[in-house]
């Protein structure tokens, strides 16, 4: 999640499973990449922004229908230092939203459970089980909640 002051940058996904939803920036880690390297690359590809400072904010695991059908594991980062000017790409339109005016009705259902907690500086391990249609959360588990330590700031290599 890219943050500045009291705003967060979201992408209106133009394709893929998130098409039509406002989401944070990110994507798939490429072979040989660390999660940190992956987010630096994805943020640049999707917005033109260069990450200067980020903090690990936890992990999120998704399931479809039941815990027997894992969809993936995501690494969560708060990016609060960057350079450049955000611009949309073929991945989607970008827009800055006030943290207290997020478009939850056009976001993934799970975002309402954890996003504000993370934006307040909390790190967590999160698991969500969606219904088979991937519309609503059936079950969630949020654990290991703690303040994101300042000592976990990661400054990418140039």
- Quote the pTM value: 0.89
Give me 68's structure tokens. 């027997």
Q: Which CATH code fits 2-154? A: 3.90.79.10
Low-confidence residues in the chain, pLDDT < 70: 149-158
CA-CA distance, 116 to 125, in Å (whole number)?
Answer: 14
- Name the one residue in this structure whose structure tokens are 């894992």: 70
Give me 108's structure tokens. 């993934």
SS3 155: coil
pLDDT at 147: 82
pLDDT at 153: 59
Q: Please name the residue ranges forming H helices in the chain.
A: 35-47, 111-119
pLDDT at 67: 94
pLDDT of 96-135, one tens digit each?
999 999 999 999 999 999 999 899 888 999 999 999 999 9
**Whole-number Cα distances in Å, 90 to 12, 42, 46, 158:** 11, 13, 8, 25
Extents of the domains making up the chain: 2-154
pLDDT at 52: 93
pLDDT at 114: 92
């Amino acid at each position: 999640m890219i943050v500045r002051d009291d705003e967060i940058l979201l992408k209106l996904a133009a394709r893929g499973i998130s098409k039509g939803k406002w989401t944070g920036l990110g994507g798939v880690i490429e072979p040989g990449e660390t999660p940190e390297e992956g987010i630096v690359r994805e943020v640049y590809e999707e917005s033109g922004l260069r990450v200067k400072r980020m903090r690990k904010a936890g992990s999120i695991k998704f399931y479809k229908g039941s815990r027997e059908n894992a969809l993936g594991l995501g690494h969560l980062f708060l990016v609060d230092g960057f350079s450049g000017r955000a611009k949309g790409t073929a991945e989607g339109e970008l827009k800055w939203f006030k943290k207290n005016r997020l478009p939850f009705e056009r976001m993934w259902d799970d975002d309402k459970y954890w996003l504000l907690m993370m934006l307040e500086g909390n790190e967590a391990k999160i698991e969500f089980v969606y219904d088979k249609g991937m519309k609503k959360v059936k079950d969630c588990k949020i654990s290991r909640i703690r303040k994101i330590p300042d000592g976990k700031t990661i400054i990418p290599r140039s």
